[in-house]
């Protein structure tokens, strides 16, 4: 790898999504990411199919493939003394360790931050957990859906009660993914600090804390305004009109962000007088009279088809969009122009599709060098590369069931 993190070694003890998402990003940026997996089973998500990428001698789940490119897989039995010793040796050579075990697990194995940093003061050790390690909920398990529920996200997602709505989770595991994003940035910040001081540090990122942190304006709406926000479907709590509207043949999204755009939108909808109507002069007026305005727009937009509205609104400078499914996203000319799908060689498929990292570096571009690894694919390679193990030493560990 030749990205901006070239030469950085990441020892990835995490599984499922939050940790693997962070390490995939770091691998995209050029780090050497070694993924530690259970012999014979591997990351839980290897079994989360269908769909599968299959071959005569095995299969890989699409879920696993989504979060594990640019990594090497090394299988180790972490419950064994020999396996723990191998990890300790790898940690001495690592710049970063990331893990997401239940509270107390790494301490029991002697693989916690304090233990590993005793032998490597420059180590950045990142822990992801459902709830903070020192909290009263430290030992509770947590998956994305329950974090979306307990962290407030589901209470503001879905159609409102008066439209027969119920709380909904987001269609991807966004609590895990955002936690992984926080983890990646925190690790980079700690590596920057180490460049100045020579010392690493421990990082903790609880899923619930992360979920609450990125609720952004909804948090501040409550903390400043005092009203508990609720579900609004596609509508925006602070801007009107900013939601999906029905047309004669479907729906489109309109996102009016200022008074100029509002005037252009009303003219396009055949209601130019509304831009000067006292009920709708400013955004605060439109918020107070949301129901009236939305009803007027619903009736106007229902008269024509989506394609006609999208063309005319775009020509008028009004932000708008079709509501695309993923088939439409990936078949769009923009997706082809930007190469949003890349291909990597894989033992089960000579052209495995993967979704491009959106970050564009001018001097050290993201590379798609390694497909998500087969279970244990790089075990011998990593032990030789990082630790200089002999073939005989590796064979002894294999016979003992350690790797």
For 266-312, the DSSP string reads HHHTT-GGGGG-TTSSSHHHHHHTHHHHHHHHHHHHTTS-HHHHHHH
Mean pLDDT over residues 164-183, rounded?
96
CB 293 within 8 A of CB 240: yes
Work out whether the CA dihedral 131, 133, 137, 139 comes out positive or negative. positive
pLDDT of 140 > 80? The answer is yes
Give the span between the Cα atoms of 333 and 337, in whole angstroms. 6
Domain presence at residue 229: no
Enclosing domain of residue 290: 242-323
pLDDT of 188 > 80? The answer is yes
Give the span between the Cα atoms of 131 and 403, in whole angstroms. 31
Domain presence at residue 235: no
CATH number of the structural domain spanning residue 382: 3.40.50.10540
Same domain assignment for residues 23 and 131 = yes
Mean pLDDT over residues 260-288, rounded?
97
Per-residue pLDDT tens for 56-110? 888 999 999 999 999 999 999 999 999 999 999 999 999 999 999 998 999 999 9
Same domain assignment for residues 308 and 195 = no
User: Residue 320: left if φ>0, alpha if ψ -120 to 50, beta else—which one?
Assistant: beta
Domain presence at residue 331: no
CB 73 within 8 A of CB 35: yes
CB 230 within 8 A of CB 155: yes
Looking at 262, 297, 323, the residue that finishes a domain is 323
CATH number of the structural domain spanning residue 261: 3.30.1540.10
Same domain assignment for residues 264 and 297 = yes
Looking at 276, 292, 323, the residue that finishes a domain is 323
Q: Report, in this order, helix, strand and coil percent for the chain, each rounded to 5.
A: 40, 15, 40
Same domain assignment for residues 21 and 120 = yes
Same domain assignment for residues 54 and 107 = yes
Domain presence at residue 104: yes
Tell me the whole-structure pTM to 2 decimals.
Answer: 0.94
Mean pLDDT over residues 159-167, rounded?
93
The confidence score (pLDDT) of residue 216 equals 96
Domain presence at residue 329: no
Domain presence at residue 252: yes
Mean pLDDT over residues 364-388, rounded?
96
Looking at 293, 323, 353, the residue that finishes a domain is 323
Domain presence at residue 231: no
Same domain assignment for residues 170 and 249 = no
Same domain assignment for residues 190 and 259 = no
pLDDT of 160 > 90? The answer is yes
Assigned token pair, 183: 């983890």
Which class for 396: exposed (0-12), middle (13-18), buried (19 or more C-beta within 10 A)? middle
In the chain, the percentage of residues whose pLDDT exceeds 70 is 100
Per-residue pLDDT tens for 5-26? 999 999 999 999 999 999 999 9
Same domain assignment for residues 99 and 30 = yes
Same domain assignment for residues 106 and 183 = yes
pLDDT of 1 > 90? The answer is no
The confidence score (pLDDT) of residue 2 equals 78
Mean pLDDT over residues 331-359, rounded?
94
The confidence score (pLDDT) of residue 302 equals 97
> Pick the catalytic residue: 28, 43, 176, 209?
176
Domain presence at residue 1: no
Same domain assignment for residues 92 and 164 = yes
Same domain assignment for residues 188 and 317 = no
The confidence score (pLDDT) of residue 135 equals 92
Would you call 176 a catalytic residue per the annotation?
Answer: yes
User: How many domains would you assign to the chain?
Assistant: 2
Give the span between the Cα atoms of 151 and 163, in whole angstroms. 24
Same domain assignment for residues 189 and 310 = no
């Amino acid at each position: 790898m030749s990205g901006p993190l070239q030469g950085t070694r990441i020892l990835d003890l995490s599984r499922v999504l939050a940790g693997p998402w962070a390490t995939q990003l770091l691998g995209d940026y050029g780090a050497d990411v070694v993924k530690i997996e259970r012999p014979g089973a591997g990351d839980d998500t290897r079994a989360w199919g269908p769909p599968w990428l299959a071959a005569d001698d095995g299969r890989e789940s699409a879920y696993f493939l989504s979060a594990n490119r640019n990594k090497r897989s090394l299988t180790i039995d972490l419950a064994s003394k020999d396996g723990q010793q191998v990890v300790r040796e790898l940690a001495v050579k690592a710049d970063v360790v990331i893990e997401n075990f239940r509270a107390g697990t790494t301490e029991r194995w002697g693989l916690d931050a304090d233990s590993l940093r005793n032998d490597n003061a420059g180590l950045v050790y990142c822990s992801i957990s459902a709830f903070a390690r020192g909290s009263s909920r430290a030992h509770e398990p947590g998956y994305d859906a329950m974090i979306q529920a307990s962290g407030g996200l589901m209470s503001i997602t879905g159609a409102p009660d008066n439209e027969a709505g119920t709380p909904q989770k987001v269609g991807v595991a966004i609590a895990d993914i955002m936690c992984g994003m926080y983890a990646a940035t925190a690790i980079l910040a700690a590596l920057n600090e180490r460049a100045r001081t020579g010392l690493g540090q421990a990082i903790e990122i609880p899923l619930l804390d992360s979920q609450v942190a990125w609720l952004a304006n909804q948090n501040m709406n409550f903390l400043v305004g005092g009203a508990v926000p609720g579900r609004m479907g596609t509508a925006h709590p602070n801007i009107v009109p900013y939601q999906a509207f029905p047309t004669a043949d479907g729906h489109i999204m309109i996102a009016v962000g200022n008074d100029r755009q509002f005037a252009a939108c009303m003219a396009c909808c055949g209601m130019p007088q509304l831009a000067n109507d006292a009920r709708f002069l400013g955004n605060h007026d439109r918020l107070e009279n949301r129901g009236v305005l939305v009803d007027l727009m619903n009736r106007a937009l229902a008269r024509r088809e989506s394609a006609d509205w999208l063309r005319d609104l775009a020509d008028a400078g009004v932000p708008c969009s079709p509501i695309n499914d993923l088939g439409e996203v990936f078949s769009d000319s923009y997706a082809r122009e930007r190469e949003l799908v890349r291909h990597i060689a894989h033992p089960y498929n000579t052209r495995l599709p993967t979704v491009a990292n959106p970050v564009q570096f001018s001097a050290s571009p993201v590379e798609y060098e390694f497909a998500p690894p087969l279970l244990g694919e790089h075990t011998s390679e990593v032990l030789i590369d990082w630790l200089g193990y002999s073939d005989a030493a590796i064979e002894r560990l294999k016979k003992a069931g350690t790797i």
